[in-house]
C-alpha cells in the first residue's frame, strides 16, 4: 500500500483577498470579452468561424481565471473551479446583454436577469439568423445556446481547476514551484505498477534501466519540479506518452501517469539528472534511431 506522505498534496489554502480579487478581474474580463464576442458572432455570417469564436471565448476566460488563481495563490482546486463557474455564468449573462444591442439595431438592451430571460424567449420564437432562408429558432436554437454555454462555462471552470491540480506550491516560500525539468524521451514503461512500487520504495536506481526512446509515438517522460527559492521541495512525475494522428495528420497526445508528484529529496533529484546525462552520453555514442529525439534534460 502506498504511503500517502510520499506524495505532494495541495494544502487547500485560499488567501483572504484571493476570492474578491479573482472575481473582480474575472467578471471585468468577462464583460469586455463578452461584448466583443457578442458583436462578432452577430455580424459574422460563417457558422464555423462563430464556433471557433465560442471556443476562443471560453478558453480566453479560462486562462484569465487560471492566471488570477495563480497570481492570488489559490491552492484549492474546488475554489478555483467555483470561481471559474461564477465567471463563466457572468460571461454568459454579459454576452447575451451585449448581443441584444445589435439585435435591436443598437437601440436597446436589458440588464435585469428576469427581463433578459423573457426577451431571449421571445427572440427564440422567431430567431435572428439561419441557414439560407430557414431561420434557426425554437428547440434547435435552445440546443445551440446550451452547447455554447457548456463550452464557455466548461472552459471557465476546467482550465483554472486543472491549473491548480497540476501545479506545485511551496508553502515554506509561499510561492509556486515553477522550476521544471523534463527528461527523456525513454522507451515506454512496460510494467507501470512495478515501477511505481519501486519508486515509492526509493529504489531510484530502476530509472537507470530506462532506455532511450526509438519511437516518436510511444515513449515515457520524467518531469522534475523543484522550488528554486528554498531548494527543499522536490517532486517527480513519470508518464507514459502515446501520440496518435487523425486522418488529417493532426497529433493527439495521451499521457498516462506511472507515478505523479512523488516527493523526493535533493540527492535523488540530482541522481536522476545524473542518470539523464548518462543516457544522453550513451545515445550519442550509439547513435539515436531518430535524430529528432532529444534525450537531454530540458529546463
User: Do 87 and 156 meet the contact criterion of CB atoms below 8 Å apart?
Assistant: yes
* Residue 75 backbone dihedrals phi, psi, to 5 degrees: -110, 20
Q: Who wins on pLDDT, 25 or 280?
A: 25
The mean predicted confidence, pLDDT, of the chain is 89
178 pLDDT above the threshold of 80 = yes
Question: How far apart are the C-alpha atoms of 61 and 160, rounded to whole Å?
Answer: 9
In the chain, where are the structural domains located? 18-167, 175-286
The answer, yes or no, to whether residue 49 has pLDDT greater than 50, is: yes
Q: Are 207 and 275 in contact (CB under 8 A)?
A: yes
Q: Assess whether pLDDT exceeds 60 at residue 295.
A: no
Percent of the chain with pLDDT over 70: 89
Lowest mean pLDDT among 45-49, 55-59, 185-189: 45-49
Whole-number percent of the chain with pLDDT over 90: 69
Judge whether residue 258 has pLDDT over 50: yes
Q: Which three cell numbers stand for residue 168?
A: 506545485
| Torsions phi, psi for 34 (to 5 deg) | -65, -40
SS (H, E, C) 85-105: HHHHHHHHHHHHHHHHHHHCC
CA atoms within a 13 Å half-sphere pointing along the CA-CB vector of 42 = 19
Check residue 3 and give its pLDDT: 64
Phi, psi of 270, rounded to the nearest 5 degrees: -70, -35
Q: Give the residue-averaged pLDDT of 281-290.
A: 54
Query: What average pLDDT score do residues 278-291 get?
Result: 55
Phi, psi of 155 (to 5 degrees): -70, -35
pLDDT of residue 197: 94
pLDDT in tens, 13-24: 999 999 999 999
Please give the average per-residue pLDDT across 108-132, as a whole number.
86
Confidence of residue 2 (pLDDT cuts 50, 70, 90): low
Whether residue 290 is predicted with pLDDT greater than 90 in this model: the reply is no
* Half-sphere CA count of 127, side-chain side, radius 13 A: 15
pLDDT at residue 252 is higher than 50: yes
Amino acid at each position: 500500500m502506498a504511503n500517502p506522505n510520499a506524495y505532494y498534496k495541495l494544502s487547500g489554502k485560499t488567501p483572504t483577498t484571493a476570492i474578491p480579487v479573482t472575481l473582480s478581474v474575472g467578471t471585468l474580463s468577462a464583460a469586455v470579452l463578452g461584448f466583443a464576442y457578442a458583436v462578432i458572432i452577430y455580424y459574422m455570417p460563417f457558422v464555423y468561424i462563430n464556433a471557433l469564436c465560442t471556443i476562443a471565448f471560453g478558453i480566453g476566460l479560462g486562462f484569465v481565471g487560471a492566471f488570477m488563481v495563480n497570481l492570488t495563490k489559490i491552492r484549492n482546486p474546488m475554489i478555483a473551479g467555483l470561481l471559474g463557474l461564477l465567471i463563466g455564468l457572468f460571461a454568459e449573462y454579459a454576452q447575451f446583454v451585449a448581443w441584444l444591442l445589435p439585435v435591436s439595431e443598437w437601440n436597446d438592451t436589458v440588464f435585469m436577469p428576469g427581463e433578459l430571460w423573457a426577451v431571449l424567449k421571445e427572440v427564440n420564437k422567431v430567431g435572428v439568423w439561419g441557414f439560407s432562408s430557414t431561420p434557426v429558432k425554437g428547440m434547435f436554437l435552445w440546443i445551440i445556446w446550451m452547447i455554447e454555454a457548456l463550452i464557455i462555462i466548461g472552459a471557465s471552470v476546467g482550465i483554472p481547476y486543472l491549473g491548480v491540480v497540476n501545479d506545485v506550491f511551496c508553502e515554506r516560500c509561499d510561492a509556486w514551484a515553477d522550476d521544471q525539468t523534463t527528461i527523456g524521451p525513454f522507451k515506454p514503461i512496460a510494467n507501470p505498477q512495478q515501477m511505481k512500487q519501486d519508486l515509492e520504495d526509493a529504489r531510484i536506481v530502476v530509472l537507470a534501466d530506462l532506455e532511450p526512446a526509438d519511437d516518436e509515438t510511444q515513449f515515457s517522460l520524467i518531469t522534475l519540479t523543484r522550488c528554486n527559492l528554498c531548494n527543499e521541495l522536490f517532486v517527480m512525475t513519470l508518464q507514459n506518452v502515446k501520440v496518435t494522428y487523425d486522418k488529417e495528420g493532426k497529433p493527439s497526445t495521451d499521457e498516462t501517469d506511472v507515478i505523479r508528484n512523488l516527493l523526493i529529496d535533493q540527492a535523488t533529484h540530482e541522481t536522476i539528472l545524473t542518470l539523464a546525462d548518462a543516457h544522453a552520453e550513451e545515445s550519442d555514442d550509439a547513435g539515436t534511431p531518430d535524430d529528432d529525439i532529444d534525450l537531454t534534460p530540458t529546463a
